[in-house]
Amino acid sequence: MESKQLSLFQNNIELFETRGPLWSVRSEKRCSKGKISDTEKTVGIRLENEGRRGLQLEPDLSEEVSARLRLGSGNNGLLRRKMSILETKEKNCSSHGPQDEILNSAFKLRITRGDIQTLKNYHWLNDEVINFYMNLLVERNKKQGYLALYAFSTFFYPKLKSGCYQAVKRWTKGVSLFEQELILVPIHRKVHWSLVVTDLRKTCLKYLDSMGQKGHRICEILLQYLQDESKTKRNIDLNVLEWTHYHMKAHEIPQQLNGSDCGMFTCKYADYISRDKPIIFTQHQMPLFRKKMVWEILHQQLL
């Protein structure tokens, strides 16, 4: 019965689609608790200034979504029933019990109740949640009909940047990196999540940022890594003249409008790209995506 309800729920995700520009930020501690940080205050000032310049900012819709779910008629009532499945799971698993209790374990990762709580609205996702989700994408793409996919850990790029190739030389032991079609690299820039996608089919790197920031230097470092990896593991010189790197502009990919969803946008960029689909989700879907991701991580299965 639950699988049937989840199937119905999955088919109605589009009810949350909308349009508009968006933004995001996250703490160095990689989770959100308690008081508003200086970073959040800075983002608030930034958004206020954007508004003064005439940019129409779109508010977070969590309250509106909650209000709609309380309506018991028509499509809203149907949506309420579908979402209640995930809400119940989320409350039971994340609200009661020790923060360090392990709720799931796979991919050499352990997900605790505290990790799951970072998926509550307005919270910053931590490394464990993002790494677990990236592994779920890789597992899904092992199925026939999907692109060959590899995802690096969130700790890969900081290690590469600080220690160069020798520091991460063994990270791909047993992995034929150049037999993949797509390579995902989640990036943490002090207080912000973003994503680099290496497309080996098109010999290009793309930087996706839900705040519209540029990532030229990041792409250059990763391209140098590919050169070193190719020479070391295949004894083949990578022709960098055949490669391009490009940062996706704000009008090309969904952008966030709050200070908490950069991790979610990074995960959903990866989801859509790994399915070779147009990136068409929006900020309005984030509350739903968060509930959906709780279920996916706890059940180790993508919906």
Arithmetic mean of pLDDT over the chain: 78
If pLDDT is split at 50, 70 and 90, which confidence band does 245 have?
very high
pLDDT of residue 190: 85
In the chain, what are the domain boundaries?
A: 2-299
pLDDT of residue 167: 97
State the chain's maximal CA–CA distance in angstroms.
64
pLDDT at residue 110 tops 70: yes
For the CA atoms of the chain, what is the radius of gyration? Answer: 20
Task: Please name every residue paired with 106 in a beta bridge, in sequence order, or none if there are none.
Answer: 109
Give the tens place of pLDDT for each residue, 76-100. Answer: 444 455 555 555 555 555 557 888 8
Give the tens place of pLDDT for each residue, 196-242. Answer: 999 999 999 999 999 999 999 999 999 999 999 999 999 999 999 99
pLDDT of residue 249: 95
In this prediction, residues 44-67 reach a mean pLDDT of 37
Q: Which of 126, 122, 131, 118 is nearest to 24 (CA)?
A: 122
- What are 209's two structure tokens? 């940022």
Q: pLDDT > 90: what percent of the chain?
A: 64
pLDDT at residue 108 tops 60: yes
Give the tens place of pLDDT for each residue, 17-29. Answer: 333 333 333 333 3
pLDDT of residue 81: 53
pTM over 0.85: no
Q: Which of 233, 187, 174, 242 is nearest to 214 (CA)?
A: 187
CA 189, CA 247: separation in Å to the nearest integer?
15
| Residue 298 vs residue 93, higher pLDDT | 298
Give the tens place of pLDDT for each residue, 166-202. Answer: 999 999 999 999 999 999 999 998 899 999 999 999 9
Q: What phi and psi, each to the nearest 5 degrees, are found at residue 235?
A: 55, 40
Amino acid at 156: F
Is 3.40.50.970 the CATH number for 2-299?
no
pLDDT at residue 14 tops 60: no
pLDDT of residue 226: 97
Give the tens place of pLDDT for each residue, 63-77. Answer: 433 333 333 334 444
pLDDT at residue 54 tops 70: no
294 φψ region: left (φ > 0), alpha (ψ -120 to 50), beta (else): alpha
In this prediction, residues 253-282 reach a mean pLDDT of 96
Q: How many CB atoms lie within 10 A of CB 167?
A: 14
Q: pLDDT > 70: what percent of the chain?
A: 69
pLDDT of residue 33: 38
Give the CA-trace dihedral at 193, 35, 291, 75, to 10 degrees: -110
In this prediction, residues 230-255 reach a mean pLDDT of 95
Of the listed ranges 69-83, 150-164, 229-243, 255-269, the least confidently predicted one is 69-83
Q: How many CB atoms lie within 10 A of CB 241?
A: 7
Task: Please name every residue paired with 196 in a beta bridge, in sequence order, or none if there are none.
Answer: 185, 207
CA 74, CA 81: separation in Å to the nearest integer?
11
Q: Is the dihedral of CA 255, 261, 263, 269 positive or negative?
A: negative
Residues belonging to the active site: 192, 209, 262
| Residue 61 vs residue 122, higher pLDDT | 122
